[in-house]
Structure 1
Amino acid sequence: MAQYAMPQDQNVGTTGTDVVTRDARLAIPNMQAFAFTTIIWGAVFAGFLIRPLATGLGLLAVVSFFGGIALFLGGMHQSTRENPEMGTFFESYGVFLISLGALVAPTFGISSALGSHLNVAVGFLFLTWTVFTILYMLTAMGTNPVWLGALGLLALASLGVTLGLLINVPILTLIGGWIAIASGLVAWYGMLSRLLEAGHSRLELPRGGFHHAPNIR
C-alpha cells in the first residue's frame, strides 16, 4: 500500500485492496477530527458566526483540548497499524491542539498569567506548528492532491494566524482563519471519499493521483 492514509489511486490486487480498505477505515475518524477542529479554530480566528471573542476563546479551548486528545490517540492507533507516517502527523497535530487548548482555557490559569502577552504566546505556538506543517508537506509529496491541498491550506492558515498575532495585524489573523476553514472542508471531502471507498459504495469521489512508482509494502 502507499505510505499515507490518503494514497494515490493505483491498480492493486485483492490483497492490496484489502489493505487500502483497512487503511481507509483507520483514516476516517482521524480525518473527521482534523476537519472538525481545524474548521472550529479557523472560525474563531475568522470571527465567523462566533461572537463575542470570549465565547470564541471558550469554544476554542474546549474543542482544541478534547479534539487534540482524540487526534493524538487516533494517531497512536494509526501508527501501530498500517500507517506510521500519517499517525505521526495526527499525533503531532493532537499535541499542538492540546497545547493551544491549555493555553487559552481559563481553567488552567495560563491565559490569565500571560495577560496581554497571550497573543504572542499563541502566535509563537502557531509559528512552530507552521514550520512542522511545511516540513511534513515535503514528505507528503507522494500523496494525492486532496490531502496535499489540505496540508497546504493548513500551512497557509497557520502562517496567517502566526503573522497576525506576532506583528499585530488582525486582517492576517482573519485571513488565516478563513483559510483554515477551507482546509477543513477539503479534509472533509477527503474523509467522505475514503468513507465511500471503505463502504464499497457505487458513488466515488475522485482524489486525483501523482504518477510515479508507488511505495508498496
Structure 2
Amino acid sequence: MASSTTTDVEKGGIQATSPQEVLGNGSALPVSYQLAVRPSRIGNPGALGLFSFASTTFLLSLYNFQTRGIKHPNVVVGMALFCGGLAQLLAGMWEFPRGNVFGGTAFISYGAFWMSYATILIPASGIAASFTDPKELQSAVGIFLIAWFMVTLFLVVATLRKNIAFIVMFSFLALTFLLLAVGEFSDKLSVTKAGGIFGALTSFMAYYIGLSELLSSEDMAVVHLPLGIIPKRVAPM
C-alpha cells in the first residue's frame, strides 16, 4: 500500500528547500514541474496503515471462519471504525503530501470500506433491519463485496510494477472479497470459510509489509525484510 524510499527527507538524508536543490538541476526545470515537486518532512505512514488494515482483516477473517464457534462478527465494529477505518484514513491523507498516490488511494479506500461495513453491522443504523428477507440482505451484501472486489482488482494491476509482496497481498485480498461475495450469494458456509482463510493470509502479508516499512524507516534498523523488488525495464535506445 505504500512504497518506502531510502532517502526520505525525514531521515535527514536530504535537507532541501526547493525542487532545484533536490534534483540538482539549477533553475532549468519547467515552472509546472517546480510547483509539483515539493520535499516533504512527513514521516512514512505506511506501517500505521498496513498494521491497521492487517489487524482488522485478521479479526474479521477469523470470525468468517467461525473460529471457536463465533458466528456473529459484530465485535469487529469497533476495530473497523477506529483501526481499519480512521487510522487508515489518516495514513492515506498523509501519503498524498509525500507524493504516494497509490498508498493514499489504497489506504483511504479501505478505510472507507471498513467504516461502511461497520455501519451495516451497527443496529442503530437500521440498514440490516430494513431487510425483511434474509436472502435479500445476503444479495445486497454480496453486491457490496463484489464492488470492493473490483476496486481491489484494479489495485492489483497497479501493483504489477511495484514488488512481489504487494502483488501477493492484493491478489489474496481480491480472492477474499470474491469468495465472501460468492458465499453470500450461494449461502454456502464452506465458501465463506475459504474467504476467511484467504483473508487471514492477506493480513499476514500486510503485517509483513508493514514491518518492512517500519524497519526501513529506521536509520539504525538491523533487520531488513525483502519485498521482492521488480526491476524496472529500461527502454532500448
Q: Give TM class, smaller chain.
A: 0.7 to 0.9
Q: What is the Cα deviation at residue 144 of structure 1?
A: 1.2
Given that 2:42 and 2:94 are in contact with CA atoms closer than 8 Å, whether structure 1 keeps it comes out as no
Mapped partners of 1:129, 1:145: distance in 2: 22
Q: 2:2 aligns with which of 1, 5, 9?
A: 5
Mapped partners of 2:42, 2:101: distance in 1: 11
Matched, 1:152 2:171: yes
Q: 1:177 aligns with which of 189, 196, 208?
A: 196
Runs of 4+ in 1 over 6 A off after TM superposition: 12-15
Mapped partners of 2:115, 2:123: distance in 1: 14
Alignment correspondent of 2:79: 63
1:176-215 → structure 2 map (5 Å cutoff)? 176-200=195-219, 201-213=221-233
Higher helix share: 1
Mapped partners of 1:162, 1:25: distance in 2: 33
* Cα 1:5–1:14 shift into 2, 3 Å: closer
User: TM-score, normalising length from structure 1?
Assistant: 0.84
Mapped partners of 1:14, 1:35: distance in 2: 25
Q: What is the Cα deviation at residue 24 of structure 1?
A: 7.3
Mapped partners of 1:92, 1:14: distance in 2: 25
Given that 1:39 and 1:181 are in contact with CA atoms closer than 8 Å, whether structure 2 keeps it comes out as yes
Mapped partners of 2:8, 2:184: distance in 1: 51
Mapped partners of 1:73, 1:170: distance in 2: 35
SS of alignment partner, residue 225 of structure 2: coil
Q: What is the Cα deviation at residue 95 of structure 1?
A: 1.2
User: TM-score, normalising length from structure 2?
Assistant: 0.77
The residue type paired with residue 181 of structure 1 is A
Alignment correspondent of 2:50: 31
Percentage of matched positions with identical amino acids? 25
Task: Count how many residue pairs are aligned between Structure 1 and Structure 2.
Answer: 204
Q: What is the Cα deviation at residue 46 of structure 1?
A: 1.2
1:77-116 → structure 2 map (5 Å cutoff)? 77-115=94-132, 116=134
The residue type paired with residue 64 of structure 1 is A
CA RMSD of aligned residues (A): 2.6
Mapped partners of 2:91, 2:198: distance in 1: 24
Q: What is the Cα deviation at residue 198 of structure 1?
A: 1.2
Q: Report the structure number with the largest CA radius of gyration.
A: 2
Q: What is the Cα deviation at residue 69 of structure 1?
A: 2.4
- Higher relative contact order at CA 8 Å, sep ≥6: structure 1 or structure 2? 1
| Structure 2: gaps of 5 or more residues | 15-40
The one-character-per-residue Cα deviations of 1:42-68 (angstroms, maximum 9, x if unpaired) are: 11111124x4423xx211322222221
